[in-house]
Every structure is written in C-alpha cells, then in structure tokens.
C-alpha cells in the first residue's frame, strides 16, 4: 500500500516537472518568433504547444535512459526519483522567477544525482557518464550554436545585403514559422521523453513493470499532455529574456538562431551526442547578435544566463539531496513523500496568493514588449 502511494506521488510529481519543463522551455521555441513579430504571442505559444504534444509521440527510444548513465541504476528507488524531481522543479521555478533560461534536463539529472548521493553515497556517481554525457555537452552546445549562428548570419547578410528591407523582413518572418515549428517538434520529442523515462523508471523500480518495459500508453499520453499544457501556459519571464534582453533581434537573426539551433539539435540527435535545447537556442541568439556587432549582445544578461547554467547541476543536486534527507526523517514509507508534497503544494499556493494580491502580470505584447 505504502509503495503504491509513493508511486502515485512520483507520477504526479513527474507530471508536475513536465509541466514546469513546458512553461520554462517555451521560451526556447517561441521567444525569437515573438520578439521579431513573426507570430502573435498567443498564436506562437498555441502552435508550439500542439507541436510539443505531437513531438512527444514521435519516438520513445530515449525514454528509459534518463540519469542511468550518470548514477548507478541499481540504487534508484521511487523515493530517490521523487526527491530528484522536487530538486528539478524547485530549480526550474527559481530560474523562471529570475527569468533565466536554464536546462530542465540538467536540473532533472542534478536532482536525481543529489538524491541518489544522499541515499547511497558519492560512489553511485558514474564519473564517465557525468563528464561525457552532461558536462562536456553543456560546454559544447552553446559554443557550437554560437559559432554556427554567427557564421550563418554573416553569410545571410552578404546574400541579402542589397535587397529591400521589407522583402527581407517579411521573408524571414515566414521562415521563422517553419524553423520555430521544427524546434517545437524537436523539443517535444526530446523533453517529454524524459518524464516518460522517469515514470517508467519508477514503475520498474516498484515492480509494476518488467525491467525492459517500454513506457505504457497512458504514460506517453499524460507526459505529452503535461508538457503541452506547460508550454501553453507560457513562461513569459524567460521569453522576455531570450527574445529581447540578450539582443535586440531582427527577423534574419531570429530565423538564424532558430534554424541553426534546430540544425545543431537534430545533428546531435542523429549522431548520438544529445545537447540541451536551452543551451543551443540561447547560444544561437548570442551568436546571431555578436556576429552583427559584439556590443549588440548584452553580455551582463548573457553572463547571468551562463551562471545559471553552471549552477543548475549543483543547485538541483543540493535541493534533491535535502529533499531526500527530509523524506527519510519520516522513515522509508510513504509519509515522507506525502509530507514533502503537501509542503511543496502549500509553498506554491502561498506564492500564487502573494502574486494575486500584488496584481496580475501584464502580458507580453506583440514585438516583445511587456
């Protein structure tokens, strides 16, 4: 009975993480389209939401690989997964509050690593996996996207240099509908699978599924729906940062950031060297801006974003470890996760009440203003 309660809590928490992943990472998909006026904000977000939903059904091949390369899979229990998810959700909410686009995948990996270490010690970390699958890709993703976008926009400006601005601007805005759509589809494929993987992992650990089981249909549908709903909710704070605060973007730069970003993500997927969508698209935005003029990039904002990337793994790990420690105060049963869940829900409710008392936020308008 106790383990069934924990599983229900883990599934609910995983879907909550999926929701935060959706609204946190919406910016990656829609920010450049909104800031250049290629699409109206609500339309861009609705389309991204639908494509995220569709993307979740495209492939489930990586669904079972979450965190298994960075921690010893034998020590994983539903409670460890739960604590890791809380770490990831908390860090997603913190970075969302400050409008910083950080990687939800890294937050999830950090959370699970932290809770696993708290449960079984540092020896559970697989150093090769952590360096090769997480740290090096985290360094490569923004640099590669920066270079590709910078090179691409330089070539594009040479080709279109003597064309009428109206034709160029209109053309790139239409192009952004294509590049943004592809990015949304890729995001749904990559990120919804992580939640499917976490839920499947917990179901396997609890004995509900066999060791080699694929995600059940209900898990796929629920994960797709959660990330899609999260995307539809729209993380306006991060959209504003990515779309307008790093650089003042023209339509060509917006298309280049998205197009280069999609190319980098898909190339990395094809060759089995997966990169973070967040790191890629923000690196692309910086590259598209810097190629035009170095001073066009607000390096202070870029520095804050990079700092958030650096802090994501240790911060989510620390919260995951702390959460695991708190749950263990109540023993090994379901009481700990129940108490932590109730406390988290109370905190979120208090934040919403406080925000409601301050007044509703002003929505982002077309062109990126707020």
Partner 1 sequence: MLPVLGALVEGKELVETVIAATLAGVGVTFAFAVAIWGYGRSLELGGEERRLAAGLAAAVGALALLVVVGSIVAGIVVMTHK
User: Would you tell me which residues interact with partner 1 (CB under 8 A)?
Assistant: 55, 58-59, 61-62, 127-128, 131-132, 136, 140, 144, 147-149, 151-153, 155-156, 159-160, 163-164, 167-168, 171-172, 175, 178, 182, 185-186, 189, 252, 255-256, 259-260, 262-264, 266-273, 275
Q: Which is nearer to partner 1, 130 or 339 (CB)?
A: 130
3-state SS track over the chain: CHHHHHHHHHHHHHHHHHHHHHHHHHHHHHHHHHHCCCCCHHHHHHHHHHHHHHHCCCCCCCHHHCCCCCECHHHCCHHHHHHHHHHHHHHHHHHHHCCCCCCHHHHHHHHHHHHHHHHHCHHHECHHHHHHHHHHHHHHHHHHHHHHHHHHHHHHHHHHCCCCHHHHHHHHHHHHHHHHHHHHHHHHHHHHHHHHHHHHHHHHHCCCCCCCCCCCHHHHHHHHHHHHHHHHHCCHHHHHHHHHHCCCCCHHHHHHHHHHHHHHHHHHHHCCCCCCHHHHHHHHHHHHHHHHCHHHCCHHHHHHHHHHHHHHHHHHHHHHHHHHHHHHHCCCCCHHHHHHHHHHHHHHHHHHHHHHHHCCCCCCCCCCCC
Contact between 72 and 117 (Cβ < 8 Å): no
Q: Which is nearer to partner 1, 145 or 205 (CB)?
A: 145
CB of 252 to partner 1, least distance (A): 8
Closest approach, Cβ 206 to partner 1, in A, equals 28
Minimum CB distance to partner 1 smaller for 266 or for 344: 266
**Cβ 274 to partner 1 shortest distance, Å:** 9
| Closer Cβ to partner 1, 87 or 283, answer by number | 283
Supply the minimum distance, in Å, between the C-beta of residue 10 and partner 1. Answer: 26
What's the token pair of residue 129? 């996996």
Q: What is the rounded CA–CA span in Å between residue 26 and residue 99?
A: 12
Task: Provide, rounded to whole angstroms, the least separation between the CB of residue 230 and partner 1.
Answer: 20
Closest approach of partner 1 to the CB of residue 217, in Å: 18
43, HSE (Cβ side, Cα atoms, 13 Å): 10
Distance between CA atoms of residues 367 and 370, nearest Å: 9
8 A C-beta contact, residue 284 and residue 149? yes
Least spacing, CB of residue 170 vs partner 1, in Å: 9
Min dist. Cβ of residue 107 to partner 1 (A): 22
Q: Which is nearer to partner 1, 60 or 100 (CB)?
A: 60
Minimum Å gap between C-beta 368 and partner 1 is: 22
Closest approach, Cβ 310 to partner 1, in A, equals 18
Cβ distance to partner 1 smaller for residue 54 or 225: 54
Nearer to partner 1, 117 or 185 (CB): 185
């Amino acid at each position: 009975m106790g383990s069934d309660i924990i599983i229900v809590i883990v599934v609910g928490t995983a879907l909550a993480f999926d929701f935060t992943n959706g609204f946190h990472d919406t910016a990656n998909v829609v920010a450049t389209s909104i800031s250049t006026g290629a699409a109206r904000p609500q339309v861009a977000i609705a389309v991204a939401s639908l494509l995220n939903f569709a993307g979740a059904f495209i492939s489930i091949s990586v669904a079972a690989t979450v965190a298994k390369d960075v921690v010893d899979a034998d020590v994983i229990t539903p409670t460890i997964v739960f604590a890791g998810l809380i770490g990831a959700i908390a860090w997603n909410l913190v970075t969302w509050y400050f409008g910083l686009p950080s990687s939800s995948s890294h937050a999830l990996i950090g959370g699970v690593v932290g809770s696993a270490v708290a449960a079984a010690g540092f020896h559970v970390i697989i150093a090769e996996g952590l360096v090769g699958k997480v740290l090096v890709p985290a360094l490569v993703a923004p640099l590669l996207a920066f270079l590709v976008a910078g090179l691409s926009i330089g070539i594009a400006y040479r080709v279109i240099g003597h064309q009428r601005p109206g034709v160029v601007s209109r053309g790139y805005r239409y192009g952004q509908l294509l590049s943004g759509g592809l990015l949304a589809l890729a995001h749904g494929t990559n990120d919804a699978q992580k939640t499917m993987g976490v839920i499947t992992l917990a179901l396997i650990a609890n004995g509900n599924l066999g060791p080699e089981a694929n995600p059940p249909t209900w898990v796929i549908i629920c994960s797709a729906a959660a990330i899609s709903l999260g995307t539809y909710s729209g993380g306006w704070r991060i959209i504003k940062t990515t779309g307008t605060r790093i650089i003042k973007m023209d339509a060509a730069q917006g298309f280049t950031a998205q197009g280069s970003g999609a190319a980098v993500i898909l190339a990395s997927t094809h060759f089995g060297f997966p990169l973070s969508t967040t790191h890629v698209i923000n690196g692309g935005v910086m590259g598209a801006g810097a190629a035009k003029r170095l001073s066009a990039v607000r390096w202070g904002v870029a520095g804050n974003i990079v700092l958030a990337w650096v802090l994501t793994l240790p911060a989510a790990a620390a919260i995951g470890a702390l959460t695991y420690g708190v749950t263990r105060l109540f023993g090994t049963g379901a009481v700990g996760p129940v108490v932590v869940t109730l406390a988290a829900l109370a905190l979120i409710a208090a934040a919403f009440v406080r925000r409601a008392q301050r007044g509703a936020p002003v929505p982002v308008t077309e062109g990126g203003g707020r």
